[in-house]
Amino acid sequence: MQYTSQRDRSATHLTHWGAAEITSDGHRLTSVRPSPDDPEPTPVLENLADAQHHPTRIDRPHIRRGWLENGPGPGPRGDDPFVPVSWETALEALSGELARVYGEYGAGAVYGGSYGWGSAGRFHHAQSQVHRFLNALGGYVQSVHSYSYGASSAILPYVLGTSAEWTMRGSTAWEVIAEHTGLLLAFGGISGKNSQAGPGGVTRHTLRGTLRRTHERGCRTVSVSPLRDDTPEEAGAEWLAPAPGTDTALMLALAHVLDAEDLADRAFLSRCTTGYQRFAHYLRGSADGVAKSPEWAAQLTGLDAVRIRELAREMARTRTMITVSWSLQRTHHGEQPVWLGVVLAAMLGQIGLPGGGFGHGYGSAADIGRPRRVASAPSLPQHFGAQARGTSAYIPVARIADMLLNPGAAYEFDGRHLRYPEVRLVYWCGGNPFHHHQDLARLRRAFRRPETVVVHDPFWTATARHADIVLPSTMSVERDDFGSGSNDPTMLAMPALTKPHAEARDDYDVFADLSRLLGRGEEFTRGRTSREWLRSLYDDWRARLTADGHPLPDFDAFWAEGQLTIPVPEPGQILLADFRADPERHPLPTPSGRIEIHSETVEGFGYHDCPGHPVWREPAEWLGSPTAVRHPLHLVANQPRTRLHSQLDVGAHSQASKIHGREPARMHPEDAAARGIEDGALVLLRNGRGRCLAGVRLSEDVRRGVVQLATGAWYDPDPDDPSFCRHGNPNVLTTDRPASTLSQATTGAHALVEAEPWRGPVPELSVLGPPETV
Ligand SMILES: Nc1nc2c(c(=O)[nH]1)N[C@H]1C(S)=C(S)[C@@H](COP(=O)(O)OP(=O)(O)OC[C@H]3O[C@@H](n4cnc5c(=O)[nH]c(N)nc54)[C@H](O)[C@@H]3O)O[C@H]1N2
Ligand SMILES: Nc1nc2c(c(=O)[nH]1)N[C@H]1C(S)=C(S)[C@@H](COP(=O)(O)OP(=O)(O)OC[C@H]3O[C@@H](n4cnc5c(=O)[nH]c(N)nc54)[C@H](O)[C@@H]3O)O[C@H]1N2
Ligand SMILES: [Mo]
């Protein structure tokens, strides 16, 4: 199975953004074409070929000079040059350091949260690999929840009883929406750009075709968003653009109309929910003297009160699906719009009916709205069952900088009183915190604190540049694997297409060597090569499915065929249909067994920033806040159209979008004119936390007062000022303020900024090549 000859070869390969037919000459990829089975393939595939041997690939292990010379300890990470070393030297140094830290301080001193997407392919999934490895050594400090929907992960279990993942995997199928929905009310839109990607991969993109059919059948779509193109044209959507961060006010006003005009489904509310009366008091203003009327919301959102009132009436007349994109909760008080989405759907009484109810993340990723399979794809076990030792310490994932800056400090999270662990060693494999975290200048200070930072990555990412020990990983095209995205019925064999770049190695092989050096080889490897793991994971999985009545081919037949289909039991899946049909027999796992419009549990935590029912709380940074005088533009730092996060930013498709080599930012022509900014020019975006350059595109598809700059441009700090990114990474501007005490989730989607024309010389970028070595 391992690639051995130099013959040309080709195979279908899976990425998080689609399946591709790839041909190689054994060393480089000679062609990458979308899979013919994909009706709406994505140009993001074009990033792959020229990135594979780009100068930013890490060619061999490197150690930061200061760490090599002075040993472990806090240090000027990000400024020091690197020393290239042999694998032997690197693994010896790293195993010695792991032995020291585990020996002297235990597992609670090792942070292995290692958040990030890595690559598609289930066995070589980098996070599973590093978690299994650190568990073999005795455990590690974990991270919980995600940057994707951390606020939802905290709040939804109190509202619906199930985890956010479970709720979303159970979303009403797109096919049901296409057939039954009369009004698709999409907060945050139904993003075509985001539907390009799904965790683990997507074999068939179908959003545009589905929206076209839905529209042609007569469904109306209302896209509530600061950007007109957040919903594809095929939906024929009406565009409503409230001020970013004010959706909660709009939703409360819609609820107010349903309540005031007696349009709420009282029977459903009493049969399937609890707490409506408490919430209705708040809506009517009985508690605080402020009725959450359309007139009230009009002032906050900038929308017309008449239009809000009409929309509420239409919702009550029609089979309405309310969907809230994940972006709405990646904000201060991001729990509220998600909770309110459920509450509005409950007031309409359509939860559990075909094409009605609530959805979370339609358009946010390709898998949402795809019905569940009988089983997810096989994967590498991360835990050792009864053998597991070590630590149960964890942090909410977005509190990484807080943890490193404030070891031992107390904080609150989800009803618990916790303390930050005293972390000495940080181990990252498959993620890029200098892409994903907020307030990067602060993160950089935090990354200087621990004694050792280890990073595995194929590329010289900003995180690798801020590490002590840097190990080059293979890319997915350089190793055998199998892959299948979340809720995707197709599982692909992914044979290696080329030799590894330079001295890059599979994460698995590196962890196997390290665990042997540390006397834990047997635990980590079970004596298997990666090829043997593929076969055994597959065989165990196949045996389980076969026993459940789903026969599958044996491993060799699967590998020869190149793909198989995982059965989907209920193609017409409807969220909460059972519960709606019989809430007594199918209660929700909430304390009341029903949908909690008011939660005693959440109220009991006593958090002012997340009380017992949904409320409007002013975000710290929005167009109506006092600081908007100095920074009057609302930055929407959304996901990039041209790549996945920071991955392959050096690739052809991502590079083609750059303006003077900088990430494109979009703004409204009137906002630009008021500042003397011209289309295609360089701008400086700035606020009290940082500054970045971007290339500007003027567009009337952007709401006035908004600047949109996607994430993912590789962080290129000015040597004299790390809060200035010369390339256009918006995370030098975003804030590390959590969504709420309940969730401690990221608020990276929003920040206030000011923009001005850049009149200085155009600085050179340093991230298009490797860092300085000695
Ligand atoms: N401002 C702002 N910030 C955001 C967001 C936002 O909307 N706004 N979105 C947030 C969200 S939702 C997310 S999910 C995060 C994403 O943040 P990340 O998941 O950290 O971003 P990626 O760029 O996907 O990083 C994956 C890394 O894994 C590496 N990699 C790929 N394959 C392998 C492998 O086999 N082995 C190893 N060792 N490494 C590999 C890649 O080269 C890359 O550096 O960003 C978050 N940050
Ligand atoms: N091409 C591509 N696709 C991706 C990813 C990627 O990096 N690239 N990342 C994947 C990942 S990890 C995730 S978590 C998902 C994220 O999926 P989302 O969270 O849905 O993605 P975003 O692009 O942040 O936001 C979608 C849109 O919401 C709008 N929006 C922002 N703030 C507000 C607001 O306050 N109110 C309203 N009504 N709308 C607002 C923005 O205009 C934005 O374009 O995307 C996935 N898909
Ligand atoms: Mo995400």
Report in angstroms the alpha-carbon separations of 357 from 275, 572, 591: 18, 15, 22
Question: How many angstroms separate the alpha carbon of residue 395 from the centre of ligand 3?
Answer: 18
What are the residue ranges of CATH 3.40.50.740 in the chain?
Answer: 62-146+385-480+500-534
Burial label, 546 (beta-carbon count in 10 A; 0-12, 13-18, 19+)? exposed
Q: Which ligand lies nearest to the CA atom of residue 202 in the structure?
A: 2
Question: How many angstroms separate the alpha carbon of residue 315 from the centre of ligand 2?
Answer: 24
pLDDT score of 287:
82
Report in angstroms the alpha-carbon separations of 688 from 26, 153, 735, 751: 50, 30, 10, 11
Q: Give me the percent of the chain exceeding a pLDDT of 90.
A: 97
Burial label, 285 (beta-carbon count in 10 A; 0-12, 13-18, 19+)? middle
Average pLDDT estimate for 457-481: 98
Contacts of 123 by beta carbon, 8 Å cutoff, 6+ apart:
379, 380, 481, 482, 508, 530, 533, 534, 537
Average pLDDT estimate for 634-644: 98
CA dihedral 276→282→285→291, nearest 10 degrees, is -90
pLDDT score of 4:
47
Q: Which ligand lies nearest to the CA atom of residue 745 in the structure?
A: 1
Q: Give me the percent of the chain exceeding a pLDDT of 70.
A: 98
Which string of DSSP letters, residue by residue, matches 111-149?
A: E----S---S-STT-HHHHHHHHHHHHT--BEEES-TTT
Q: 9-15 and 18-24: which strand pairing?
A: antiparallel
CB of 149 within 6 A of ligand 1: the answer is: no
Question: How many angstroms separate the alpha carbon of residue 150 from the centre of ligand 1?
Answer: 15
CATH for the 162-364+582-605 domain, from 3.30.930.10, 3.40.228.10, 3.90.25.10, 3.40.720.10: 3.40.228.10
| Three-class SS state of 519 | coil
CB of 456 within 6 A of ligand 1: the answer is: yes
Question: 10 Å Cβ neighbour count for 526?
Answer: 11
Question: How many angstroms separate the alpha carbon of residue 516 from the centre of ligand 3?
Answer: 34
Task: State how far the Cα of 592 lies from the Cα of 161, in Å rounded to an integer.
Answer: 10
Q: 750-757 and 682-686: which strand pairing?
A: antiparallel
pLDDT bin (cut points 50, 70, 90) of residue 2 is: very low
Average pLDDT estimate for 709-727: 98
Question: How many angstroms separate the alpha carbon of residue 664 from the centre of ligand 1?
Answer: 19
Q: In the structure encoding, which two tokens stand for residue 305, read together?
A: 């009160």
Question: How many angstroms separate the alpha carbon of residue 191 from the centre of ligand 2?
Answer: 7
Q: Which element (helix H / strand E) includes 26?
A: none
Which ligand 2 atom sits nearest the alpha carbon of residue 246?
35
Average pLDDT estimate for 674-696: 98
CB of 473 within 6 A of ligand 1: the answer is: yes
- Locate the DSSP E strands across 476-518: 481-483, 490-494
Which amino acid belongs to residue 529?
A: T
Asked whether the whole model's pTM tops 0.85, one would answer yes
CB of 373 within 6 A of ligand 1: the answer is: no
Q: 410-413 and 416-419: which strand pairing?
A: antiparallel
Task: State how far the Cα of 75 lies from the Cα of 600, in Å rounded to an integer.
Answer: 47
Average pLDDT estimate for 86-106: 98
Q: Which ligand lies nearest to the CA atom of residue 147 in the structure?
A: 1
CB of 275 within 6 A of ligand 1: the answer is: no
Which ligand 2 atom sits nearest the alpha carbon of residue 325?
20
Which ligand 1 atom sits nearest the alpha carbon of residue 461?
44
pLDDT score of 62:
99
Classify each residue of 642-655 as buried b or exposed e, where b means 16 or more C-beta atoms within 10 Å of its C-beta.
Answer: bbbbbbbbbbbbbb
CB of 686 within 6 A of ligand 1: the answer is: no
Question: How many angstroms separate the alpha carbon of residue 435 from the centre of ligand 1?
Answer: 7
What residues are labeled active site? 115, 117
Dump pLDDT digits (tens) for 184-213. Answer: 999 999 999 999 999 999 999 999 999 999
Contact 293, 156 (CB under 8 A): no
- Residue 633's φ and ψ, nearest 5 degrees, are -110, 140
What are the residue ranges of CATH 2.40.40.20 in the chain?
Answer: 626-757
Candidates 153, 250, 639: which one to mutate for ligand 2, based on the most atoms within 8 Å of Cβ?
Answer: 639
Nearest CA to ligand 2 atom 22: 638
Question: How many angstroms separate the alpha carbon of residue 148 from the centre of ligand 1?
Answer: 11
- Residue 723's φ and ψ, nearest 5 degrees, are -85, 0
pLDDT bin (cut points 50, 70, 90) of residue 7 is: low
Classify each residue of 6-43 as buried b or exposed e, where b means 16 or more C-beta atoms within 10 Å of its C-beta.
Answer: eeebebbbbbbbbbbbbebebeebeebebbeebebbbb
Task: State how far the Cα of 622 lies from the Cα of 750, in Å rounded to an integer.
Answer: 8
pLDDT bin (cut points 50, 70, 90) of residue 3 is: very low
Average pLDDT estimate for 368-389: 85
Task: State how far the Cα of 26 lies from the Cα of 45, in Å rounded to an integer.
Answer: 19
Contacts of 25 by beta carbon, 8 Å cutoff, 6+ apart:
6, 8
Which amino acid belongs to residue 240?
A: L
Candidates 711, 729, 753: which one to mutate for ligand 1, based on the most atoms within 8 Å of Cβ?
Answer: 711
Which ligand 2 atom sits nearest the alpha carbon of residue 361?
20
Q: What is the DSSP-derived secondary structure letter of residue 339? A: H
Q: Which residues pair with 321 in a beta bridge?
A: 184, 357
pLDDT score of 463:
98
Q: Which ligand lies nearest to the CA atom of residue 639 in the structure?
A: 2
Q: What is the DSSP-derived secondary structure letter of residue 715? A: P
Question: 10 Å Cβ neighbour count for 551?
Answer: 9
CA atoms within 13 A on the CB side of 65: 11
CB of 439 within 6 A of ligand 1: the answer is: no
CB of 364 within 6 A of ligand 1: the answer is: no
Pocket of ligand 2 (CB under 6 A): 148, 187-189, 191, 193-194, 196-197, 224-227, 230, 244-245, 247, 325-328, 330-331, 364-365, 636, 638-641, 644-645, 749
Average pLDDT estimate for 718-730: 98
CATH for the 626-757 domain, from 1.20.1440.230, 2.40.40.20, 3.90.1150.10, 3.40.50.150: 2.40.40.20
CB of 113 within 6 A of ligand 1: the answer is: no
| Three-class SS state of 588 | coil
Classify each residue of 193-220 as buried b or exposed e, where b means 16 or more C-beta atoms within 10 Å of its C-beta.
Answer: bbbbbbbbbbbbbbbbebbbbbbeeebb
Nearest CA to ligand 2 atom 3: 194
Dump pLDDT digits (tens) for 244-296. Answer: 999 999 999 999 999 999 999 999 999 999 999 999 999 999 989 999 999 99
Residue among 373, 328, 346 nearest 592 (CA): 346
pLDDT score of 385:
59
Question: Does the structure show a pLDDT above 50 at 656?
Answer: yes
Candidate from 114-123, 382-391, 513-522 with smallest mean pLDDT: 382-391
Question: How many angstroms separate the alpha carbon of residue 110 from the centre of ligand 2?
Answer: 32
Candidates 147, 330, 473: which one to mutate for ligand 1, based on the most atoms within 8 Å of Cβ?
Answer: 147
What are the residue ranges of CATH 3.40.228.10 in the chain?
Answer: 162-364+582-605
- Please tell us whether the domain made up of 62-146+385-480+500-534 is placed in CATH 3.40.50.740: yes
pLDDT bin (cut points 50, 70, 90) of residue 390 is: low
Which ligand 2 atom sits nearest the alpha carbon of residue 637?
24
Residue among 763, 759, 703 nearest 728 (CA): 763
Q: Which element (helix H / strand E) includes 546?
A: helix 530-547
Dump pLDDT digits (tens) for 585-611. Answer: 999 999 999 999 999 999 999 999 999
Contacts of 438 by beta carbon, 8 Å cutoff, 6+ apart:
398, 731, 734, 735, 736, 746, 747, 748
Q: How many helices (H) and strands (E) does the chain have?
A: 26, 31
pLDDT score of 384:
72
Dump pLDDT digits (tens) for 300-316. Answer: 999 999 999 999 999 99
CB of 498 within 6 A of ligand 1: the answer is: no
Q: Which ligand lies nearest to the CA atom of residue 494 in the structure?
A: 1
